Structures are given as C-alpha cells and as structure tokens.
C-alpha cells in the first residue's frame, strides 16, 4: 500500500515540472493573484467580514463553476453577488424565485409579431433574465421543481432550448443562488441532480460583534461606496483558461479522488462518521470540482500547481451538499466536520 504525505508541497508538485507553465502563463498567474487582491479590496468596501466566503466565491468563478449561498436573512448574500458582478464588470440579472414563477419567466419566450408594412407574422424570441454573465437565483428553493429544472440545462450545457431552438448562454456564465435555511414553509428542496451542478455550497454565518458594529455604521449613513471594476469578461475568460491549464500533480488527483470516495458509505475508505450518517456519498463530479477548486486556490495565491492543502481548503464547500444524510444524522444534529474526516495521506 503506497502512502504519500501532503506535508511537503514541493513533493506534491513533483512530476509536473516538465509541464510547468510558460512565460505567458506565469505573467497571467501574477495578474490573477493581483486581481484576487483587488477584488477583495473592492468587495470589502460593501461587505464586512466573510473573507473566506469571498475567497471561495472567487475560486468558483475562476474555475467556471456555479455556487449556492446558504444563510439566514440579512447576511448580505444578495449584496455580495451584486458587488462581485460589479467588480468583475459583468452583466448581472436577478431572478426572485417565487412559487408561481414559470420556466419561461427565466429562459424567455417566443412572441408573435406582425410587420406593419406587409402584415406578415413571425415569431421573435425574447430572451429571459438567464441571459446574463451573472444570474442571481434569489431564494431558489421557493420555486417549484419544474422551474428549478429550467436552470439545469443552462447550468450544465450553457445553452437554453425554447420552442425547438437552442440558444447559447453569454460567456462567462455563472448561476449564483441563495437559500434561506430556516424558513421551510412554501419551499421546494432542490433535487440532488440540480444540487450536484453547483460547484460550491457556501454557508454564511453571523458576523462578530465588531463586524456587526461596522456594518451598522456603514449602512446607516448617507454615503454609498462605489465599486471599481477589476476585471472584464475577456480577461476573466483568459484567467479561467489559465486555471484549467495549471498542471495537477498525479498525487493531488489521487488525493482528490480518495477524498470523494471516502464519503461513500460502502467504500473501504469511508470512515465511521460516513458509515453512520451518510446514505449516499459524493459522485465523480465532486472529484473533478475538488481538483478544479484546488487549481483555482493555488492560482489565487500565485502558485503554479495545487497541493493537498488546496484540496482540503475547498473540500467542505464541494462535498457538503452532495451528501445524502440519514435520519440518524438529523437526530444527532451532525455537521460536516462530524461526518467526514479528511485523510492526511494518499492510500
């Protein structure tokens, strides 16, 4: 049985020196690290605290993934998404999900039009709010399953089909959804197939007392901070491609696969918490997102290859919403840290 320790990042990077980034990619890597700092600075003008949430959200965007933000009302989930879209100079669309929202309210519809001169009639497609770079699906669990499913093709295929015609999403394209974890009346839980399309689930907690005092001070005055764009769509796309090109050492890929497999109760790698509390574990898409998230994390720090710590840093956000827990987990109020123990070595 071979075992690899993650304690030495240089060792984890061994085996990829031959495919190290070229000069152009290294320059892009420097730009990406600078942009990360600038983004944090711009977002901090409106959002107090939540630094780890901001970093995870930026990592998801750099990896080209979607994210769902979970938190009680008043934690600035919507404001955070709006601020990120402004700091990235991207088109933004907000959809308030309600029980009577129809799929066509999101994707768009075809209207019959008559030409004034000839009287000839023809259908014209009117795009819905989903045709934006950043789509905020506010309180996504309030819409019925049929409407939630309207997002599925767009999130996975980056296209929408209406009346037999397929339309491409703008690029880049992100769906950032919010959920309220405490209000369950009139809500429809997202099916596992749709949850699996979200790269990250980010959970926002209450601010500290000092942070809350800063929030109240900043939001009860007459000055509204302005956000200066840091990146445009084209530059963001080039940085996303850079993240994809970063080489992942074989040991890091092995570790990511092991982490995902350790969440499956029938797998030999599963720990006691998984066997006790989990009915179904994470699928192969989790392994892919663990590696992509690790690459994005490394790039944000200006490093040319991810290591084991990068995988561990994104593991809770990648795995938490992919675990189907049993009644025992609910009865014991078990959280992710109680259930999944991330391995220290590759086995």
CATH number assigned to the domain comprising residue 302: 1.10.8.80
- pLDDT at residue 183, as a whole number: 59
**91 plus 62 within the same structural domain:** yes
Q: Tell me if 293 is assigned to some domain.
A: yes
Q: Tell me if 27 is assigned to some domain.
A: no
Across residues 300-319, what is the average pLDDT? 91
**261 plus 336 within the same structural domain:** yes
Confidence of residue 9 (pLDDT cuts 50, 70, 90): very low
**84 plus 152 within the same structural domain:** yes
Provide the pairing of β-strand 121-127 with 134-138.
unpaired
Domain boundary among 235, 254, 273: 235
**Cβ–Cβ under 8 Å, residues 134 and 84:** yes
Tens of pLDDT along 25-77? 788 888 888 888 888 888 888 888 778 888 898 899 899 899 999 888 778 78
pTM, entire model: 0.84
pLDDT at 8 over 50: no
Q: What is the CATH number of the domain that holds 41?
A: 3.40.50.300
Lowest mean pLDDT among 148-152, 185-189, 208-212, 304-308: 185-189
pLDDT at 287 over 70: yes
**Cβ–Cβ under 8 Å, residues 97 and 140:** yes
Q: Tell me if 135 is assigned to some domain.
A: yes
**40 plus 107 within the same structural domain:** yes
Domain boundary among 215, 235, 255: 235
Across residues 182-205, what is the average pLDDT? 78
More confident residue, 96 or 219: 96
- 318 token code pair: 């990648």
**185 plus 43 within the same structural domain:** yes
d(C-alpha 300, C-alpha 95), whole Å: 30
pLDDT at 13 over 70: no
**69 plus 199 within the same structural domain:** yes
- 21 token code pair: 């980034």
- pLDDT at residue 249, as a whole number: 92
Q: Tell me if 344 is assigned to some domain.
A: yes
Tens of pLDDT along 138-184? 888 888 888 887 787 788 888 888 777 888 888 889 999 888 776 55
Across residues 269-274, what is the average pLDDT? 87
d(C-alpha 37, C-alpha 30), whole Å: 11
**322 plus 204 within the same structural domain:** no
Alpha-carbon 236 to chain mean position: 15
pLDDT at 319 over 80: yes
**199 plus 325 within the same structural domain:** no
Mean pLDDT for all residues in the chain: 83
Q: Which domain holds residue 156?
A: 35-235
Cis peptide before 172, with omega less than 30 degrees from 0?
yes
- pLDDT at residue 312, as a whole number: 93
Number of domains in the chain: 2
**52 plus 101 within the same structural domain:** yes
Domain boundary among 235, 258, 283: 235
Q: Tell me if 76 is assigned to some domain.
A: yes
Confidence of residue 19 (pLDDT cuts 50, 70, 90): low
d(C-alpha 289, C-alpha 315), whole Å: 9
More confident residue, 326 or 218: 326
pLDDT at 16 over 70: no
- pLDDT at residue 159, as a whole number: 85
Portion of the chain with pLDDT greater than 70, in percent? 90
């Amino acid at each position: 049985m071979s075992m690899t320790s993650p304690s030495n990042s240089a060792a984890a990077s061994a085996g990829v020196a031959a495919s190290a980034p070229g000069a152009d990619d290294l320059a892009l890597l420097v730009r990406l690290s600078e942009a990360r700092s600038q983004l944090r600075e711009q977002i901090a003008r409106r959002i107090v605290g939540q630094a780890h949430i901001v970093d995870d959200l930026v990592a998801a965007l750099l990896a080209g993934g979607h994210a769902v933000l979970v938190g009680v009302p008043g934690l600035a989930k919507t404001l955070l998404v709006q601020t990120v879209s402004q700091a990235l100079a991207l088109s933004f669309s907000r959809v308030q999900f309600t029980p009577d929202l129809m799929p066509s309210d999101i994707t768009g519809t075809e209207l019959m039009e008559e030409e004034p001169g000839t009287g000839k009639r023809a259908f014209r497609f009117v795009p819905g709010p989903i045709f934006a770079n950043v789509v905020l699906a506010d309180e996504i669990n309030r819409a019925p399953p049929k409407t939630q499913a309207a997002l599925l093709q767009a999130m996975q295929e980056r296209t929408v089909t209406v009346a037999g015609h397929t339309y491409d999403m703008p690029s880049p394209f992100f769906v950032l959804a919010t959920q309220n974890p405490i209000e369950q009346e009139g809500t429809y839980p997202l099916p596992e197939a749709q949850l699996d399309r979200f790269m990250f689930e980010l959970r926002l907690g209450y601010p500290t007392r000092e942070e809350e005092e800063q929030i109240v001070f900043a939001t009860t005055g007459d000055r509204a901070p302005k956000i200066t764009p840091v990146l445009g769509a084209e530059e963001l796309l080039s940085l996303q491609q850079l993240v994809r090109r970063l080489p992942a050492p074989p040991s890091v890929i092995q570790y990511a696969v092991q982490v995902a497999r350790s969440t499956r109760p029938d797998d030999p790698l599963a720990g006691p918490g998984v066997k006790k509390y989990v009915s179904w574990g994470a699928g192969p898409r989790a392994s892919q997102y663990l590696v992509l998230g690790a690459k994005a994390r490394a790039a944000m720090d200006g490093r040319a290859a991810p290591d084991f710590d990068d995988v561990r840093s994104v593991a809770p956000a990648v795995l938490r919403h992919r675990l189907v827990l049993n009644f025992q987990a609910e009865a014991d109020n078990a959280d992710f840290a109680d259930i999944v123990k991330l391995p220290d070595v590759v086995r």
